[in-house]
Amino acid sequence: MSYVEHTIEVETVLGENDEFDNSFYAYLDEYSIHHAVGDVGDSGFPIVKYTGGPIALCNMLRERFGLEDHDIQELYPNIYGEK
């Protein structure tokens, strides 16, 4: 069995609250999700590239961004192996 990683880009609220940021980074570390902060998006928050396994990424989108499964499938089909 091989481990497959995927990368998604999500505008993320960062820099507004140090305690929240530290909690979020600890969450990413715990679930082995790598991140790279990029340019600021249309909402005024940075676009962050998250790289990790599909289960970890889906859980992060549910738990930390409040997305439902159908939203994840629509917005990030590459997590499920689709292009």
User: How far is residue 17's CA from residue 68's CA, in Å, rounded to a whole number?
Assistant: 25
Q: How does residue 82 score in pLDDT terms, banded at 50, 70 and 90? A: low
Domain contains 76: yes
Domain contains 11: yes
Range of the domain at 48: 6-80
Question: Which pLDDT value is given to residue 83?
Answer: 45
Tens of pLDDT, residue by residue over 21-34, are 999 999 999 999 99
Which residue from 10, 7, 26 is spatially nearest to 79, judged by alpha carbons?
A: 7
Using only the alpha carbons of the chain, give its radius of gyration: 13
Question: Which pLDDT value is given to residue 80?
Answer: 77
Question: Which pLDDT value is given to residue 4?
Answer: 83
Tens of pLDDT, residue by residue over 24-80, are 999 999 999 999 999 999 989 999 999 999 999 999 999 999 999 999 999 999 887
Domain contains 1: no
Number of domains into which the chain is organized: 1
Domain contains 25: yes
User: Edge to edge, what strands does the sheet with 46-52 contain?
Assistant: 6-11, 46-52, 34-40
Q: What is the DSSP letter of 80?
A: G
